[in-house]
Amino acid sequence: MHIMETIKLHHLHPFLLSNEAEVIHIDQIRGLVLDQSVAYAESGGQLGDQGKISFKNGNTNKELPFHDTQKGEGRLLLLKDFPAIPVQTPTYHQLSPEHLSKFYVGQKVKVQVDFQRRLLLTISHSGIHLVLMGLEAKYPGLYSAIRGCSIKPEGARLDFSTDQKFTDEDVCFVQDFVQNQILLNKQMFVYQHAAEPEAWFWQMDDYIIPCGGCHLTETGYIGTVSVKKKSLGRSMQRISFTFKDYQIPEFYEI
């Protein structure tokens, strides 16, 4: 079976914000597929990147915006110790129909992600890991009750299938836990599964979970967090957080 695949540079180069690429496919609905891209395609609740794609047009450089990044179909990963995620997928960069018509297969382009949006998504994503760690410190095993995850530039949330409503004390506990981890400027690591290069784990201290999203290297960048709870009914509970006073890491390659 032929697999149309985009090499996802954000895994091995998480702070690289642009790359040279070649157009390998154009879908009028789904968008532009490149042979490799730094852009993060929406998955695991984290929104897809936005940015711009540029190319030479005669003697001038033309730059066109893409407003979303989505994954296409690939091979379903079947490992005993990892969630069944699609791998070797194409990455679709979504442009307006008018802009999409400016591209052709084989064209050399440069893709660049919107730095501010990627930074906020990365902070938001890293922070929700700490929120989950805090919750699991109080309710071990809660990870398996996750039914929804949404990671946006302004903050993130997790929905749990549980009959137990979170209390004000839970919220205070989690907020103090997260703020303390930030104060300690803890290191956060990612590493690949031994059997699959696209399967990644996230680790802080001895807490490890499967995750291939965008992460900071240290907690100190996150700043000040505000944790909230919301009951979505008798058996669905939500925890969300927002952040402010974050610091911009110096290691991004613009």
Interface residues with Zn ion (CB under 5 A) are: 202, 211, 213
Closest alpha carbon to 68 in 52, 88, 48: 48
Smallest gap from Cβ 248 to Zn ion, in A, equals: 20
Q: What is the DSSP letter of 232?
A: -
Smallest gap from Cβ 4 to Zn ion, in A, equals: 26
Smallest gap from Cβ 233 to Zn ion, in A, equals: 27
| Token couple for 107 | 């064209």
Nearer of residues 41 and 211 to Zn ion, judged by Cβ: 211
Which sign, positive or negative, has the C-alpha torsion 94, 99, 100, 104?
Answer: negative
Orientation angle between helical segments 115-138 and 168-183, nearest 10 degrees: 120
| Token couple for 235 | 């058996």
Q: Which residue has the tokens 């095993």?
A: 141
Nearer of residues 52 and 125 to Zn ion, judged by Cβ: 125
Cα 126 from Cα 114, distance rounded (Å): 18
Closest alpha carbon to 156 in 135, 127, 190, 114: 127
| Token couple for 37 | 């891209």
Q: Which residue has the tokens 């990455």?
A: 91
Q: What is the DSSP letter of 178?
A: H
Give Cα 105 to chain centroid, integer Å. 28
Smallest gap from Cβ 158 to Zn ion, in A, equals: 12
Nearer of residues 123 and 211 to Zn ion, judged by Cβ: 211
Nearer of residues 166 and 202 to Zn ion, judged by Cβ: 202
Q: What is the DSSP letter of 205?
A: T
Q: Which residue is nearest to Zn ion (CB)?
A: 211
Cα 212 from Cα 11, distance rounded (Å): 7
Smallest gap from Cβ 52 to Zn ion, in A, equals: 26
Nearer of residues 65 and 153 to Zn ion, judged by Cβ: 153
Smallest gap from Cβ 125 to Zn ion, in A, equals: 5
Nearer of residues 20 and 83 to Zn ion, judged by Cβ: 83
